[in-house]
Amino acid sequence: MHIGLIGGIGPAATDYYYRRLIRIAADSGRDLDLTIVHADAPTLLNNLAQDNQGKQCAIYAELTKRLAAAGAENVVVTSIAGHFCIDRFAEISPLPIVDLTDALSTWLKEEGLTRVGILGTDTVMRSGMYGKLAPVDVLAPAGDGLARVHEAYVTLAKSGEPTPDLEKIFLEAGHALIAAGAEAILLGGTDLNAVFSADETAFPVVDCAGIHVDAIAEFI
């Protein structure tokens, strides 16, 4: 199976998907057939802020045509924020989509989680990741904490470089959500994997991108 990735949104996220898929293929003794095309993180974030789904879907469609021409048999958006228009994109995509929200919803139900916190962009947090995780209750940071997390995440996504100040914002928000009753924290932005490690974080985290990669790996 030739996998097609829409990358660049942001750079650290693309690297995360690519490295994990390489490792999974090596561990399974299989060849990895993969093509990556580049989308623009600032353009995505602008379209997300304006809920301009049509414009972003048109970008995805053109990039997916390039993937199909290269031989890809499916397409993956390597950005959780980039899934804000995934249902609309599915209507026009030249290739089948491996949808992160579907994979995550299934995983949460299988794990029996009923209440989780979420970190990521404003839209990801306010929507409980686009309202597609029901019946799981998804908590967003309260008050001005939501804006702080959003701004910190946008900075991280554009640079791909976590800093101590950014890490402090994410950790404080995570602790507050756990105190509010969350059983675990969803890393609702792929770039957050540069900040959090499941083995080192003081509270449980759910690696949403990792769950997505595992779903993609089923095609390898």
pLDDT confidence of residue 61 = 98
What is the C-alpha separation between 213 and 5, in angstroms, rounded? 11
What is the C-alpha separation between 161 and 114, in angstroms, rounded? 32
Kindly calculate the radius of gyration of the chain based on its CA atoms and give it in whole angstroms: 16
Query: Where do the domains of the chain lie, and which CATH numbers do they carry?
Result: 2-98+211-217 (3.40.50.1860), 101-208 (3.40.50.1860)
pTM of this structure? 0.90
What is the C-alpha separation between 7 and 17, in angstroms, rounded? 9
Q: For the residues of 176-215, what is the DSSP string, one character each?
A: HHHHTT-SSEEE-SGGGGGT--TTT-SS-EE-HHHHHHHH
Q: From first to last of its 220 residues, what are the pLDDT tens digits of the chain?
A: 999 999 998 788 899 999 999 999 999 999 999 999 999 988 998 999 899 999 999 999 999 999 999 999 999 999 998 999 999 999 999 999 999 999 999 999 999 999 999 999 999 999 999 999 999 999 999 999 999 999 999 888 777 778 999 999 999 999 999 999 999 999 998 888 888 875 667 899 999 999 999 999 988 8
pLDDT confidence of residue 159 = 77
pLDDT confidence of residue 220 = 80
Q: Residue 169 is which amino acid?
A: I
